[in-house]
Structure 1
């Protein structure tokens, strides 16, 4: 079960899987953490009205890893976080909102193509 969760790159990106393995005692705990990250991502996508592909943004994936690890360390060190899952969620959600809040247009992102400006 553990190997199936952590080595399934179609389900969990490799860098996130490695991070989850470090901070989780069981595959179930890792899956619970991963679910929190994915809910935060899904809600950020909904609020921003766009799809976030972590495969296209490795720097954002790395920032998620840093935000998650800081959250876990704060939860373990200070022990005064009333809702640890909510704290992790809010850290990831806020990060994604900050990263993707800037409106995209054809001039500032390589992921969109402006068909109206196509030259024959």
Structure 2
């Protein structure tokens, strides 16, 4: 399929920033580097035990950011980890987006609605 990159607006408690994220359909949660989390003022949720694709287990900080892609927006949990921002499937599902493997673009997976009862 190749790499899929998407322009994303991330917002923390103190600022927002546009960045390009690599879409990682093999990752459950999205990740952002510590320096980006610090610039945004991402509220921390404390450490989480995670397992990487190679089986390695780590304790990493988690936080919450508000993510906006193509007019769709929602809060999402991110792991504060690595050097490159990665967009995981939990964020994609929250926004109602999926990867089209032929066009290598994001597209709606469903109508983006929120129902409260």
The alignment's TM-score, normalised by the length of structure 2, stands at 0.23
Higher relative contact order (CA 8 A, sep 6+): 2
The structure richer in helix per residue is 1
Higher strand proportion: 2
Q: Which has the larger radius of gyration?
A: 1
**TM score, norm. by length of structure 1:** 0.23
